[in-house]
Amino acid sequence: MIKFFLKTYGCQANEADSAAISIYLTGLNCKEVYSETEADLIIVNTCAIREKAEEKFFSYLGMLNKKIKVNKPYLKTIVIGCIATYKKDEIYKRFDNVNFVFGAKEDLNNLKVVLSDFIVELESIKNIYHSENSKRDTGFLNLGGFKTAPKELKRSLINIMTGCNNYCSYCIVPFTKGREKSFSAFQILQKIEQDIKAGAKEVTLLGQNVNSYKDPESGTGFFELLESVAKIEGEFWVRFLSPHPKDMTKEVLQVMARYPEKLCAYVHHPLQSGSNKILQAMNRTYTVEQFLEQIDWMKTILPEITITTDIIVAFPGETNQNFEQTMRVIEAVRFDGIFPFIYSARKYTKALSLKDNCSKDEKIKRINELIKKQQDITFEQNSLKMGKVLRVLVEKRMANGRLLARTQGNIRVFLDGDDSLIGSFVHVKVEKTRRSDLLGVLV
């Protein structure tokens, strides 16, 4: 039996692809293992969004070469995802332990075919190796789905679309993943139904720009899809990641308000910058005023909503005043959480040619200031939950002995309880609020 290990970097779309590969390989009688040393096949799913993500991946490959491959000559390594799209040659050249490189733009169905051939080949090599201890070598390698780990909540990660046509000036994704492509609503709904029947309690609809979704067959859009998902029978929650403000409509929020039991009152709404000048340079095609209007819609239509965002600091040309404008928006909106990033220059992007005249110290100062401000806001936002009774979904047992659950807004809640609660919805009363999580008791 071939044992495979999946190492996944980056976004949840990558998690969904990895989950699909896991299902596919399990269907081929392979077994997923959770450490590299146990594996016969290692699949590394890569992320190119920022330079740091790339550096991590390259040092991981180096580690595999030095520590893992030496003890298992027949070990095969496959690299997939965004870095695999645009650094194929470099990966092959630098790492002779890598047997196959398959880019994010390529058709995942081809990956399936290659993968099945590859497993057959690997099986015979493994057998020969173990029977004769001979040393031989050859080389070789699909879609969203359902990931099961022992005693953990079952989640369904569904790629509803892939690629991006937006060309934000800092972003490599349109180049690594290619143009937008929406998947068939019929197939998406079928897959979700299957996953719900198999016990999934949480469905996440994924895409680089989910609200530009368009069913290739009927031409219907995102809010219609969302409504169809909400109509599927069963007890489950639905989230989506990420919308683009340019495509955010009231209809999406109204559908969410109509199905409060299923559609989580949660939106991750990436602002990127609080300065109109920077937003324009980023090619984001909305203004701060339009973004703020959308936040008003959200808070009016869904009063209990949790809102998070992405912010990039020190984009080329960002002055101290521009950064202060971002800080003011952060104070005004009072997001429940933010994902802050320092701008990272990426190959192919338009911003690469822009002059970056912000010192490293200044970049760090800005991001720290932003993090500090948001920590205070998150703490205040969490404090508003004190004493409230919330419906949460229990995820798993933590090392500290407590159960980890999450609210609709993805806020972590710790509670005491039995293992049998894992994967179920319970009500908890919030007894303590902290900076990044809540403590609750079952009611």
Binding part of the chain for ligand 5AD, among 21-29, 178-186, 280-288, 341-349 by CB under 6 A, reads: 341-349
Both tokens of 150, joined, read 């022992």
**Looking at beta carbons only, is 209 or 275 nearer to ligand SF4?**
209
Shortest separation between residue 441's beta carbon and ligand 5AD, angstroms = 36
Name the amino acid, one letter, at 279: L
Which helix (H) or strand (E) is 92 found in, with range? helix 88-94
Tell me the C-alpha distance between 299 and 296, whole Å.
5
Handedness of CA 316, 319, 325, 330 (dihedral sign): positive
Q: Does 50 help bind ligand 5AD (rule: CB under 6 A)?
A: yes
| Contacted entry of ligand SF4, ligand 5AD, none for residue 167, CB cut-off 5 to 8 Å set by kind | ligand SF4
Closest CA to 154 of 372, 424, 440: 424
49 binds ligand 5AD (CB under 6 A): yes
Min dist CB 310 to ligand 5AD, Å, is 3
Q: Which of residues 152-181 bind ligand 5AD (CB under 6 A)?
A: 170-171
| Parallel, antiparallel or unpaired: strands 389-397 and 100-103 | unpaired
Nearer to ligand SF4, 246 or 334 (CB): 246
Task: Give the other-Cβ count within 10 Å of 359's Cβ.
Answer: 10
Binding to ligand 5AD (CB under 6 A) within 191-220 occurs at none
Choose from ligand 5AD, ligand SF4, none: what does 438 bind? Cβ within 5-8 Å by kind.
Answer: none
Residue number, 262 or 346, with CB nearest to ligand SF4: 346
User: Nearest-CA neighbor of 177 among 273, 81, 91, 257?
Assistant: 81
Q: Report the partner that residue 213 touches, choosing among ligand 5AD, ligand SF4, none (CB closer than 5 to 8 A by kind).
A: none
List the single partner that 346 binds among ligand SF4, ligand 5AD, none, CB under 5 to 8 Å by kind.
Answer: ligand 5AD
Torsion of CA 420, 421, 422, 424, to 10 degrees: 130
- The binder of 166, among ligand 5AD, ligand SF4, none, by C-beta within 5 to 8 A per type, is ligand SF4
**Alpha helices (runs of H) in 282-428, residue ranges in sequence order:** 288-301, 320-333, 360-383
Supply the minimum distance, in Å, between the C-beta of residue 284 and ligand SF4: 7
Q: How far is the CB of 357 from ligand 5AD (least distance, A)?
A: 17
Beta bridge pairs of residue 273: none
Q: Which residue is nearest to ligand 5AD (CB)?
A: 310
Q: Which of 198, 358, 164, 357 is nearest to 270 (CA)?
A: 164
CA dihedral 42, 177, 268, 279 (to 10 degrees): 140
Residue with tokens 């219907």: 220
Give the pair of three-digit tokens for residue 10. 């980056």
What DSSP string runs through 123-137? HHHHHHHHHH-----
How is the beta sheet containing 3-8 ordered, strand by strand? Answer: 31-32, 3-8, 41-46, 76-81, 100-103
- Tell me which stretch binds ligand 5AD (CB under 6 A): 155-163, 230-238, 254-262, 340-348: 340-348
Q: Which does 97 bind (CB under 5 to 8 A by kind): ligand 5AD, ligand SF4, none?
A: none
118/170 with CB nearer ligand 5AD: 170
The whole-angstrom separation of Cα 303 and Cα 409 is 12
C-beta of 82: minimal distance to ligand 5AD in Å?
A: 11
Smallest distance, ligand SF4 to C-beta of residue 439, A? 35
Pick one of ligand 5AD, ligand SF4, none as the site partner of residue 58 (Cβ within 5 to 8 A by kind).
none
Binding flag, residue 86, ligand 5AD (CB under 6 A): no
Nearer to ligand SF4, 166 or 322 (CB): 166
Q: How far is CA 384 from CA 260, 306, 378, 388, 432, in A?
A: 20, 12, 10, 8, 11
Give the residues lining the site for ligand SF4 (CB under 6 A).
Answer: 164, 166-168, 171, 173-174, 208-209, 244
Residues from 234 through 273 that contact ligand 5AD (CB under 6 A): 270, 272
Residue type, 117: D
Nearer to ligand SF4, 105 or 334 (CB): 105
Q: Which residues sit at the interface with ligand 5AD, rule CB under 6 A?
A: 49-50, 170-171, 270, 272, 310, 312, 341, 343-344, 346
